[in-house]
Structures are given as C-alpha cells and as structure tokens.
Amino acid sequence: MSPLDFELPHDLEARVPAELRGDGRDDVRLLVSNTEDDSLVHAHFRELPRFLNPGDLVVLNTTATLPAAVTAVRGNGETIALHFSTALPDGRVIVEPRWNGSSETNGAHGTKQTFETFTIPGAGVTLLEPYRDSSRLWLARFDSDLPLRAYQQRHGHPIAYSYVDQRFPIDAYQTVFARDPGSAEMPSAGRAFTRQLLVCLRRRGVRLAKLVLHAGVASLEAHERPHEEFFDVQQRTVDEVRRAKARGGKVVAVGTTVVRALESSLDASGELVATRGWTDVVITPERGVRVVDALLTGFHEPKATHLAMLEAIAGREHIAKSYAAALEYGYLWHEFGDLHLIV
C-alpha cells in the first residue's frame, strides 16, 4: 500500500473552526469530484443537497468526541501531553504519549521504557507494552478512583495539534448529531452539517441513516495502518441501505469512519448485516468497497492510510487529480477545513 504523497503548504491548514472564519459551521468549501466523467466542481457545502438525488441515503456517524487529552508528568519531571485513544474491554487503555509534541519515541528519547508511569491530575497511567507494532501507541494501565470516561469529563480537554491556534472547547469538536460518547477525535467530515441542512436534505427526498464507530487518535507523525475500533451498525441502518440500493439510490458515507463500519458489516457472502464489535478492516484499492457509492470527507494528510480508502472508491488517478485541484485552489485541510464529495 503506497498512499498518495504530496506537499501540504502550511497556509492550507485550517487553524480555527469555520464559524470563526465565516458565518457558521457550514461556511466551508466543497470540492465535488465525479468518477464517471472525471469532472470536478468547486462549490460551497451549503449546496450539498443539489449534488444528491431523491432516494439517496446519507449515512452519519453519531459518535461523540471525548476530551481525551491530559497533561502528564514523567518520572524525570518532564511534562508531556497524553492522549487516551481507546478503552479496551479488558480494562486496559491504548494511549499515545506526545513526547515534545510528537508521538515518536525514538531518537533523543532512546528506547521505549516499558512500565514507565506518568502522573496525571488525580490519577496515574503506566505503560505496559507497545501496542502491536505501533511506534506511537501503548497498552497502558489507568489507575484512578473514577472510570475513564468520567475522569476525562472532569480533567481532560480535546486533542489538538500544533496547527490549531488556540484551545477550543469540546463543543467545537462535536457534530450536531453526536449522541454516543466514545471517540478520541472527532470524525470531522460531519462537522459542517447543521440541523437546517439536514432538514434541507430530507426535503430534497434524501434519506438519513446512522451508525456508530468510535475513532481513536489520528497522529500526523506516523502513517501506520489504523488500529481496531469499536463500531455498531444496527438493523434499521442495514434496512435503509438495502432499500436505497433497491431503488437505485446512492449510499453516501459521511466520513471514512462510516465506510469502515459499513465495510466491516459484511457477512461471508458479501451481504450487509447488523454487526456490533471491533473492526480491524483496512480499506485498500486491492480490497475495494462493496457498500458505499459516494463519500463525503475532509482532505487527508500526505501518505495517510485514509488516502488508500479514497483510492479504493475512486481510483488513484482521480484522487490525484482532485488533490491537485484542492491544492491549486486553496482548499483547507484538517478537522476545521473544507470538504470533498467523491461520487
């Protein structure tokens, strides 16, 4: 797997939410790319309904973002950021220590230290072992009188990276349809939706369906394969997808998390079925996609594994053309940036 590589200029990194740059969450640009005729259309996100047809189905991820970052103190007194990625069923957690702002632990920091303990406000975290073959994620023990989620609500703040100018409240990292807490970082493709736009889609005759996938951390330093994430695709969503297919409508995934959840819900015969559990599915061009017909997503970093998913949906040449246009016309990247509709 060799995802698309390119140079992302710093001035194309969205540093503040759209509502601080313009007049609302939906005040972002939309690049619409169609694989049938290889066309590109420069539009505004508020125009989304005109690019969808009556009978299409838009699938939303209703996960809610947790304040998953805390300040941690190492045994030598060094202060770092610690990101809680995923709570595992056995009580352990997957964490990402941010050494000097980076997730990498080689170089000046030497070999990783198993059993290193961090002091965090009112609790402690002990690194147990590297998570699988990751260079940035650790299995850890969380020691607190509070359950992890309650602890995060009391002591945590949203995960944010160096391109963000200031610290924003957790509400800035929630979609308007978020209802199921569990994600370390916001599935940002859904951020631009407003309740008014959802009403416009319904009036257009576009159906809406929901599922859950709790997203882990998405570090920018290590473009490794995504790790296991919890998801829940219920029967009513399966029924909506089947009905959309039967009437010739498009299944439009809002975000790569929705693609991963749907593609993880196929049985041995390739039929979509209600499924709940943990997925390790990685969408590549070799694997392909079987459920979604269109994807609404943000613009992804160079070499990100999400780009392989985009190639699986639209092909390498079309994605390369789309990204070249996004760079040329100044589209904005990251969770507060512009959006890309691939049909």
Q: Report the distance separating Cα 256 and Cα 189, nearest Å.
A: 8
Read off the pLDDT of residues 263-306 as tens digits, 9 standing for 90 and up. 999 999 999 999 999 999 999 899 999 999 999 999 998 888 88
233, 211 Cβ separation under 8 angstroms: yes
Residues 6+ apart with CB under 8 A from 280: 227, 228
Of residues 104 and 246, more confidence is placed in 246
Q: Contacts by 234-238 with C-beta closer than 8 Å and gap 24+?
A: 234/274, 234/276, 235/274, 236/209, 237/59, 237/209, 237/210, 237/211, 237/274, 238/265, 238/272, 238/273, 238/274
Q: Report the distance separating Cα 252 and Cα 59, nearest Å.
A: 6
pLDDT value at residue 66:
98
What confidence category does residue 113 fall into, taking pLDDT thresholds of 50, 70 and 90?
low
The mean pLDDT of 46-58, rounded to a whole number, is 97
Closest residue by Cα to residue 176 from 315, 19, 317, 54:
19
Closest residue by Cα to residue 332 from 186, 164, 209, 176:
164
The mean pLDDT of 21-31, rounded to a whole number, is 95
Q: Output DSSP code: residue 185.
A: S
- DSSP-derived secondary structure for 225-282: PP--EEEEE-HHHHHHHHHHHHTT--EEEESHHHHHHHHTTB-TTS-B--EEEEE---
Q: Report the distance separating Cα 81 and Cα 100, nearest Å.
A: 8
Residues in the chain, how many?
343
Cα 136 to chain centroid distance, Å, stands at 18
CA 186, 264, 177, 181 dihedral sign is: negative
What confidence category does residue 135 fall into, taking pLDDT thresholds of 50, 70 and 90?
confident
List strand residue ranges (DSSP E) for the chain, in order.
29-34, 39-44, 57-61, 63-65, 69-73, 79-87, 93-98, 117-120, 123-130, 138-143, 180-183, 207-213, 229-233, 251-254, 275-279, 294-298, 339-342
258, 207 Cβ separation under 8 angstroms: no
Read off the pLDDT of residues 161-197 as tens digits, 9 standing for 90 and up. 999 989 999 999 999 999 999 999 999 999 999 999 9
Average pLDDT, the chain: 92
pLDDT value at residue 305:
82
Q: Please say if the pLDDT value at position 247 is more than 90.
A: yes
Residues 6+ apart with CB under 8 A from 299: 323, 326, 331, 332, 333, 334, 337, 338, 340
